[in-house]
């Protein structure tokens, strides 16, 4: 199982704990779970912080030569993570993550009738491609 974890950049810590933590901890406990995370703020960085001491089964997808954010490697599992870079845009990076996942964990609270967030667009792409929603 390859789980792409994503969401809004402006999520607060309490909402992350409420909507993501239990799912992530359950997934870590399952043998063979691999996480795909991008390097944007919000859900991405909070997910990295939660996973850094829990699992070596993480791929970080990033734009350019190096990620915008990397958790501390000292006495963590981050040194065993895979970093996949060279993407030119968020769209290119997100499309690769979606292509390579089998499941996804995401929540969008920014979209409304006027604006569709990037998170909402990625959820829709995952569903169209038959990716399994963890929620």
Sorted by where each begins, the domain ranges of the chain are: 2-133
* pLDDT value of residue 132: 98
Q: Using the predicted structure, report yes or no on whether residue 99 has a pLDDT greater than 90.
A: yes
* Span 63-71, average pLDDT: 96
Confidence band for 112, pLDDT divided at 50, 70 and 90: very high
Query: What is the model's pTM?
Result: 0.96
Instruction: Encode pLDDT of 118-131 as tens digits.
Output: 999 999 999 999 99
Measured CA to CA in angstroms, residue 113 lies from 13, 86, 110, 127, 133 at distances of: 26, 34, 10, 20, 23
pLDDT reported for residue 73: 94
Q: Is the pLDDT score of 115 beyond 90? A: yes
The average pLDDT across 12-21 equals: 97
Mean per-residue pLDDT over the chain, rounded: 97
Contact 35, 44 (CB under 8 A): no
Average pLDDT over residues 46-63: 98
- Beta strand ranges found along the chain (DSSP E): 2-7, 34-38, 58-63, 82-87, 103-107, 132-133
pLDDT of amino acid 72: 95
130: left (phi over 0), alpha (psi -120 to 50) or beta: left
Could you tell me what percent of the chain has a pLDDT over 70? 100
Domain at 2-133: CATH code = 3.40.50.450
pLDDT confidence of residue 135: 85
């Amino acid at each position: 199982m390859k789980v792409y974890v994503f969401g809004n950049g402006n999520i607060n810590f309490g909402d992350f704990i409420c909507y993501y933590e239990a799912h992530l901890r359950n997934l870590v406990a399952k043998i063979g779970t691999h996480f795909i995370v991008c390097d944007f703020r919000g859900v991405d960085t909070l997910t990295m912080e939660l996973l850094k001491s829990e699992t070596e089964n993480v791929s970080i997808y990033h734009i350019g030569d190096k990620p915008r954010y990397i958790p501390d490697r000292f006495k963590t599992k981050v040194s065993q993570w895979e970093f996949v870079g060279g993407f030119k845009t968020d769209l290119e990076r997100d499309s690769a993550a979606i292509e390579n996942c089998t499941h996804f964990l995401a929540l969008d609270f920014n979209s409304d009738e006027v604006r569709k967030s990037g998170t909402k667009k990625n959820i829709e792409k995952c569903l169209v491609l038959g990716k399994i929603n963890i929620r």
